[in-house]
Structure 1
Amino acid sequence: MTATEKIQGPASYFPSIEKKYGQPIEHWLQILRSAGDLKHMELVSLLKTEHKLGHGHANALVAYYLARR
């Protein structure tokens, strides 16, 4: 990807997730890996309830994670 290409999809949320929650994306991906074999919305709920992420940010992280699993 070149510097002029715009990031699209779930990864486009990553800069705001890191800024708002003060953790690198790898931190959140490790939490998702540690959660085991849960469904999409179960993972979203985990991030929202246990880690206080907003729905959009949690959903973006889960979508990114599951697409690469």
Structure 2
Amino acid sequence: MTDDAVKGPASYFPSIEKKYGRPIEEWKDLVRKRLPAKHMELVAMLKTEHGLGHGHANALVAHTLVEEKD
């Protein structure tokens, strides 16, 4: 038996899309447009300008920054 459950920041993605009505790639694009801002600056931007909760904003930023490093 394999454990195919999504873990880490991506585990928030279905609820982010449902709650805020935008695809994850749109949120990631917003984060990328603000680079090279710091992690918490990006989290604050998503919270203040777009109304995301802290956990959702943090998950999006963390996942996007990991992708940008690859």
TM-score (ref. length: structure 2): 0.91
CA RMSD of aligned residues (A): 1.2
- 1:11 paired with 2:10, answer yes
Deviations 1:9-58 (A, max 9, x none): 00000000000000000010010111121010000000000000000000
Give the percent of matched residue pairs that are identical in Structure 1 and Structure 2: 64
Unaligned 5+ segments in structure 1 are none
1:46 matched to which residue of 2? 45
Runs ≥4 residues deviating over 4 A: none
1:57 matched to which residue of 2? 56
1:67 matched to which residue of 2? 66
